[in-house]
């Protein structure tokens, strides 16, 4: 089972390495990872290990995750979790129903994300399974 960011990162990095033709949505996601990675000085190695790093995230990792979440639609402009996007991604994660429901329920309880530190609430939801 995969966390949301790990799923996206591994899927996109794998597609790049396999030189797979990316859809427009996948290309946009890669651009977000690159843009936020540059902004927060996150290496490709750190992106590959994002799930491990998210277990005890530094401020830099939290800011990177906030950046990607703002740009990929996980968060709206006010910092609210967008469940429509979460539901779509969680469905692609191939989780057991109870794990999927647990993530969704946890994400519904996440309050507004306005600081990098607020991303801890999202990482706790995604890493609880």
pLDDT at 7 over 70: no
Residue 86, H or E segment: helix 83-92
Q: Regarding predicted confidence, which is higher, 68 or 95?
A: 68
pLDDT at 21 over 80: no
CB-based burial label for 21 (10 Å; 0-12, 13-18, 19+) = exposed
Mean pLDDT, the chain, integer: 82
- pTM to 2 decimals? 0.79
Q: What's the CA gap between 34 and 110, in Å, rounded?
A: 26
DSSP 3-62: -HHHHHHHHHHHHHHTTPPPPHHHHHHHHHHHHHHHHTT--HHHHHTHHHHHHS--HHHH
Residue 51: predicted pLDDT: 79
Domain 4-127 top-level CATH class: mainly alpha
């Amino acid at each position: 089972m995969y966390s949301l960011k790990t799923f996206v990162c591994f899927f996109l990095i794998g597609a790049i390495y396999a030189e797979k033709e990316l859809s427009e949505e996948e290309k946009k996601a890669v651009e977000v990872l690159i843009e936020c990675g540059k902004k927060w000085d996150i290496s490709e190695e750190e992106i590959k290990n994002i799930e491990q790093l998210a277990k005890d995230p530094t401020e830099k990792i939290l800011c990177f995750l906030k950046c990607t979440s703002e740009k990929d639609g996980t968060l709206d402009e006010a910092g609210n979790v967008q469940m429509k996007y979460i539901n779509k991604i969680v469905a692609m994660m191939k989780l057991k129903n109870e794990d999927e429901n647990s993530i969704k329920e946890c994400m519904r309880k996440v309050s507004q994300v306005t600081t990098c530190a607020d991303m801890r609430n999202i990482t706790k939801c995604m890493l609880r399974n």
